């Protein structure tokens, strides 16, 4: 199930690829990138430190697994760093289903299916977590291109703030790295997992989109 693609944003030239780039999977935590764009554009998120939302034990009912590092107050920066699921769900709750669905549709994100698990009416808080919403490596690349050319019909401030959140402070390869990881079960019974790493490298006035999946 391994696939990857590297392409030059400015020329749109594929520099290398392998695997099935059209097979779709759950975006899992890579969906925090579009969620950040939604949150900033809608005014729910203000900057990297606001809002600060406290942990509540009730959140354990809505996440597949509750990690110890999530059991603390989070702001947008820590949310992205810790990949905290309950903070993502608080963003979508503040959006409401109609606005959340409209953003996914406006972004042209994957299959745009935010219905959630069949018969559970949980699309608002679970659709991107190994549920109904799926996206392919090629679609992830197209989404990143929309971020880089401001083609998502959200404010430039939302794009700037989101880009800052996913900036890797360590950087690498003498360039600046912007990326997000994600993982989840493809087949839980067989223990098969899917891992994502989506983002881009800025170096020497060139943007290289890298997507191992």
Q: Over the stretch 44-78, which tens digit does the pLDDT of each residue have?
A: 999 999 999 999 999 999 999 999 999 999 999 99
* DSSP state string for 12-62: --EEEEES-SS--B--GGGGHHHHHHHHHHTTS--BTTB--B---GGGGGT
| Stretch 78-84: mean pLDDT | 97
Residue 78 lies in a domain: no
Separation CA 93–CA 70 (nearest Å)? 18
Residue 57 lies in a domain: no
Number of domains into which the chain is organized: 1
Residue 178 lies in a domain: yes
Residue 131 lies in a domain: yes
Within a 13 Å sphere around the CA of 172, how many CA atoms are in the beta-carbon half?
10
3-state secondary structure of 65: coil
- Which are the contacts of 158, defined by CB distance < 8 A and separation ≥ 6? 36, 37, 40, 41
DSSP code of residue 132: S
Q: Please give the share of the chain, as a percent, with pLDDT higher than 90.
A: 83
Residues that are catalytic? 29
Q: Is the Cβ–Cβ distance between 143 and 207 less than 8 Å?
A: no
Q: What is the pTM of this model?
A: 0.93
Residue 86 lies in a domain: no
- What CATH number is associated with residue 194? 3.40.710.10
31-40, 69-78, 97-106, 189-198: range with lowest mean pLDDT: 189-198
Q: Over the stretch 110-146, which tens digit does the pLDDT of each residue have?
A: 999 999 999 999 999 999 999 999 999 999 999 999 9
Residue 152 lies in a domain: yes
Residue 190 has pLDDT above 80, yes or no: no
Q: Which domain holds residue 17?
A: 4-44+97-212
Residue 63 lies in a domain: no
Residue 187 lies in a domain: yes
pLDDT at 191: 45
């Amino acid at each position: 199930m391994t696939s990857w693609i590297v392409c030059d944003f400015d020329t749109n030239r594929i520099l290398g690829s392998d695997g099935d780039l059209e097979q779709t999977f759950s975006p899992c935590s890579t969906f925090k990138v579009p969620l950040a764009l939604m949150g900033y554009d809608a005014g729910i998120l203000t900057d990297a430190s606001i809002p600060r939302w406290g942990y509540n034990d009730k959140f354990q009912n809505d996440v597949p697994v509750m990690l110890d590092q999530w059991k603390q107050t989070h702001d947008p920066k820590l949310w992205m760093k810790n990949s905290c699921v309950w903070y993502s769900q608080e963003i979508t709750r503040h959006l409401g289903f109609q606005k959340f669905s409209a953003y996914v549709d406006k972004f042209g994100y994957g299959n745009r299916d935010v219905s959630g698990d069949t018969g559970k009416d949980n699309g608002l808080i679970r659709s991107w977590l190994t549920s109904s919403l799926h996206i392919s490596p090629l679609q992830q690349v197209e989404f990143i291109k929309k971020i880089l050319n401001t083609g998502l019909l959200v404010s430039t401030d939302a794009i700037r703030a989101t880009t800052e959140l996913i900036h890797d402070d360590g950087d690498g390869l003498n360039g600046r790295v912007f990326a997000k990881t994600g993982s989840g079960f493809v087949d839980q019974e067989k223990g098969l997992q899917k891992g994502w790493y989506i983002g881009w490298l800025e170096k020497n006035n060139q943007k290289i989109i890298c997507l191992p999946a």
